[in-house]
Amino acid sequence: MNLNQAVFLTSAPNLSKCPTDSIAEVAFAGRSNAGKSSALNRLTGINGLARTSKTPGRTQLINFFALGNGCHLVDLPGYGFAKVPLKVRQQWERDLGEYLQQRSVLRGVIILMDIRHPLTDNDRRMVEWNSLGGLPLHILLTKADKLKRGAAMNALHKVRREMATEFPGVTVQIFSATKGIGVDEAKVTITGWLESAGQE
């Protein structure tokens, strides 16, 4: 499974408009300023694959990137403090919940959290949603380059301890799209989820 083959396929406003021929998907979720687009671009090695913006909340649709053989990476709408009308934000959250709970080809979810402000209420709700559905979950603590090594490792251990207590099985790592920290580790997790679909 080569993430460098990713190409934009389509955008869907809700679950009913998602591709019908998909075999396996890994979804990326996170607060509006967690660095989802930057992470996708770094993991695929394709600058501009996912649009980055200085304005949080620009991703308003479910965006699909094809990898071939029916596998996809999926960029979900950011949650949190996006500067959009309340009704729009509530609709995003409904669409997000439907996708996460009802998409049968979803193999795992990558949740991105700013390492300086992890485990917000919205982050915890996202972890809980996915845990209830039994999906594999991997947390990327993004922007690790913004902290010194010791502080970054302290944040990592803190989040791991909390996950081990509340949501056993959730894995956590540090990540930086800017410096490339944790890229290989994240790729192993993502490709493992996608490749397992072909073994069923």
Q: Range with the lowest mean pLDDT among 1-5, 142-146, 158-162?
A: 1-5
pLDDT at 200: 56
Torsion angle in degrees (nearest 10) through CA of 173, 102, 36, 131: -20
Q: Identify the pLDDT of residue 199.
A: 60
Is the domain covering 3-197 a CATH 3.60.15.10 domain? no
CB 199 within 8 A of CB 72: no
DSSP 46-88: -TTSS---SSTT---SEEEEEEETTEEEEEPPPBSS-SS-HHH
**Which pLDDT value is given to residue 18?**
96
Angle at 187 between CA 11 and CA 121, to 5 degrees: 65
Q: Are 11 and 58 in contact (CB under 8 A)?
A: no
